Each structure stands twice: as C-alpha cells, then as structure tokens.
Amino acid sequence: MTIQTTAKPKTKRGLERRAKILAAAEQVIGEKGFVAASIADITRAADTASGTFYIYFSGKDEVFRELVQDMGHATRSQAAERVAGATNRLEAERAGLAAYLTVVRDRPMQYRIVEEARFVDPEAYREYYTEFGKAYSEQLRQAAEKGEISAGDAEVRAWALMGLAKTLGERFVLWEDNVDIDRVVEEAHSFICNGLAP
Amino acid sequence: MTIQTTAKPKTKRGLERRAKILAAAEQVIGEKGFVAASIADITRAADTASGTFYIYFSGKDEVFRELVQDMGHATRSQAAERVAGATNRLEAERAGLAAYLTVVRDRPMQYRIVEEARFVDPEAYREYYTEFGKAYSEQLRQAAEKGEISAGDAEVRAWALMGLAKTLGERFVLWEDNVDIDRVVEEAHSFICNGLAP
C-alpha cells in the first residue's frame, strides 16, 4: 500500500495539534476499529475542526500507519528501558516480558490497533514484527555466544518468545479485569528458562 | 453478537450445496477479508444463484461464525490425530506443533479468518481460543501429575504454547514460500523442552 505522507508542521503549535489528532485517532480507532472510525470521529475526539485533520494527514491510512509505527517504537523503547538494568539475558527476558505486559495493560488500544494492521495495512504489520524480530534474534545470538543462554536457532526462539508474550498479554491482561502481571511473568519466565522437561 | 442460525438442510443435496457455499466463503473471505467479501462473491465462487445463499444462512455473520467454529474443530481433530501416537507429553507437544504448522500451510485462509474474527466476531474468536486453552491446560495438568513434564502453571503454559505456535505459523509458514516445517518444529521443540537456560 502506497501512502501519501504529509510533511510535519514546523511550529510548536502545529506539532501539538498533530500530536493531539494522533492521540485521538489511537483512542477512536482502538475502540471502533479502523473501518468504523471516521475522520469526523477523530477530529471530534481531538476537539478540532474536521478540516484541520488534512493539514497534518493525507487520510486515515496515513494516521493509521503512523500509529502502528509509533507503537513499535514505544514498545521497544519501554522494553529497552526496563531491560537495561538486567545483568544477563535471562533476567532481560523477565524484564522485557514484564514491560510488554505493562504496555498491554496501560495502552490496550495499541494491542488492538497493531493486530488490526494485519488487515488494514499488512505492510506496516509485517514491518512492525519484522523489525522487532530482527533486533530480538540478534540479542539472543549474542547471549548464546556469551553463554548466557543455551545454543539454538535465534530466529525461531525470538519469534516463539514474541508469540508467547503476545498471547499471554491477550489472555491474562486484555481479557482479565484484575491482572496479576507479576504472577504471569514468574510462571512464564520459569517456562522460558527451563521448558517443560521434567 | 446475536446471530440468527438457520436450520441445516435435511436432504443430501441440500447438505452438499450448503458445504459448497461454506467452502466458497472460506476462500473468498480468506482472500478479501470479511468486510470486502460480498454474498454475491461467495455464491459466484460456489457457482450457485445468489438467492440460494439465504436458504442455508441468514447472512455473512452466520457463515463467518460457522467457519471459525469449523476451523477450531478441524485444527483440534487434526492435532488430536497426530498426537494420538505420542507416548508422552513432550512427544505430543512435538506432534501437535507439527500438525498445527501443517494446517497453517495447507489452509492459510483459515489462519486469516480466525485472526479477523477478533474484529468481526470477538465472541467467536474468544470462544475459539478459550476452548482450545481449556483442553490444552487440562492435558498439561495431567502430564505434570504423571511426571511427564515439570510442575508449573498449566494455564499460563498452555497459552504460552498456543501463542508460540501461532506466531511461528505466521512467520515461518505464512510468510515463507519454502517452508521447512520439520526444522522449525525441531528448533521450537528443543526450546519447549529445555528453555533458554544454559
């Protein structure tokens, strides 16, 4: 999908308005879904005139793709922050999973939007996970070299770990009113470290 | 979502026609997505008059929900068949993962439809995975009791394993032209058995 991209505003006021529209789009698209969400809904939620939207974005497609990209950056930077204190890869796995489940709890609309991207903007969806997967594989490869984890295919493991985190986020965070993130992280971490073998 | 359900036909011919429409719907909705797929597209693919559709289904919603349910049954029964020969839980995990990745390869439209259900029919989506998760948890619980796997939270593990399989299916089967299912299964299985710990 080729999406026309609009130049970013140069003034502080312009940047603030653009950010407000983006935040409103996250809320509205996250709640209603991409197809049902209208630009009028978004500008209403952003409390701006509907024409203002087109100063900053060419259409819903552009705003959606930027949301998906933003989410990728936000999730990666939050994970990186929490992982920074870890002294080895297994500790980093625990911290990264906790960070991810916290993002799912605090910004549930993000989860939905990224998943909806599979249908709305498959290219952005694939890029989102591919970037994640590449960086993750590289970390696992280095950790195996240092002997912090056992040897094994880094890419298969990276995607397995991403999938596991995603589904735990859906089942134990999105679908539950009272989430005990720490408990889920501890249980999952013990599986991640030691597997199922008796 | 309340969906009107249509009584199943009683004649062999009726049942065949209904099955043909269902198969066509799987193809068309899997390719175009639920929103874009029209009933006319489906009846055209099924090679029947468009009015025939309404003899068997109240609308697209009903056909979609039945597809999601069918896929759950098909995936579970195919996994059960391949798992039947396994003499312990770890072997069953390997066989189950291989069965699942084979289903993703052979019926890629299924994967897409089940994922689209998250937006089109969240109730059917949740039911699909919840049923799966319950049965899976129970199997892990029994295996832990028998000492075939280590002790641990069966539900967290079941969802972790489901998530891992799903993402491996997407990355290494749906996104690849030449899939080496055996290799992915072996790598993933070694992680599932032993985890990352050195």
What's the confidence (pLDDT) of residue A21? Answer: 95
What's the confidence (pLDDT) of residue B1? Answer: 65
DSSP per-residue letters across chain B: -----PPPPSSHHHHHHHHHHHHHHHHHHHHH-TTT--HHHHHHHHTS-GGGHHHH-SSHHHHHHHHHHHHHHHHHHHHHHHHTT-SSHHHHHHHHHHHHHHHHHH-HHHHHHHHHHHHH-HHHHHHHHHHHHHHHHHHHHHHHHTTSS----HHHHHHHHHHHHHHHIIIIIIT-SS--HHHHHHHHHHHHHH-S--
B26 with B43: CB under 8 angstroms?
no
Q: What percent of chain A has pLDDT over 70?
A: 99
> What is the pLDDT of chain B when averaged over all its residues?
93
- Closest listed residue to residue B7, CA positions, set B44, B54, B56, B47: B56
Chain position carrying tokens 């770990």: A161
Contact state of B193 with A196 under an 8 Å Cβ cutoff = yes
Please report which confidence band the pLDDT of residue B135 belongs to, taking 50, 70 and 90 as the band edges: very high
B39 with B30: CB under 8 angstroms?
no
Please report which confidence band the pLDDT of residue A72 belongs to, taking 50, 70 and 90 as the band edges: confident
Chain A's closest residue to B34, CA to CA, is: A119
A25 pLDDT above the threshold of 70: yes
Domain B63-194 class? mainly alpha
Alpha-carbon distance of B101 to B146, in angstroms, equals 27
Mark A2-24 as b/e (b = at least 16 C-beta within 10 Å): ebeebeeeeeeeeeebbebbbeb
Residues 6+ apart with CB under 8 A from B25: B37, B42, B46, B63, B64, B67
Domain coordinates of chain A in residue numbers?
Answer: 6-58, 65-194
B84 at interface of A, judged by CB pairs closer than 8 A: no
- Closest listed residue to residue A127, CA positions, set B116, B110, B175, B179: B175
B187 pLDDT above the threshold of 70: yes
Nearest by CB to residue B163, choosing from A116, A166, A187, is A166
What's the confidence (pLDDT) of residue B76? Answer: 85
What's the confidence (pLDDT) of residue A1? Answer: 66
Contact state of A150 with B196 under an 8 Å Cβ cutoff = yes
Task: Please report, to the nearest 10 degrees, the dihedral formed by the alpha carbons of residues B42, B48, B53, B54 taken in order.
Answer: 150
Chain position carrying tokens 């789009």: A25
Chain A residue numbers with beta carbons less than 8 Å from the beta carbon of B129 are: 171
- A8 to chain B, minimum CA–CA distance in Å? 32
pLDDT digits (tens, 9 = 90+) for B35-66: 889 999 999 999 999 889 999 999 999 999 99
* Element of type H or E holding A122: helix A122-145
Please report which confidence band the pLDDT of residue A76 belongs to, taking 50, 70 and 90 as the band edges: confident
What's the confidence (pLDDT) of residue B120? Answer: 87
Q: What percent of chain B has pLDDT over 70?
A: 99
Phi and psi angles of residue A2, each rounded to the nearest 5 degrees, phi first: -90, 125
Going by CATH, does the domain composed of A65-194 fall within 1.10.357.10? yes
Mean pLDDT across A182-196:
98
A29 at interface of B, judged by CB pairs closer than 8 A: no
Q: What is the CATH number of domain A6-58?
A: 1.10.10.60
Structure tokens at A133: 């997967």
Chain B residue numbers with beta carbons less than 8 Å from the beta carbon of A192 are: 195-196
pLDDT digits (tens, 9 = 90+) for B63-100: 999 999 888 888 888 888 888 889 999 999 999 999 99
A119 pLDDT above the threshold of 90: no
Mean pLDDT across B152-157:
97
Q: What percent of chain A has pLDDT over 90?
A: 72
A132 burial type by CB count under 10 A (0-12 exposed, 13-18 middle, 19+ buried): middle
Please report which confidence band the pLDDT of residue B180 belongs to, taking 50, 70 and 90 as the band edges: very high
Pairs across A and B, CB distance < 8 A: 131
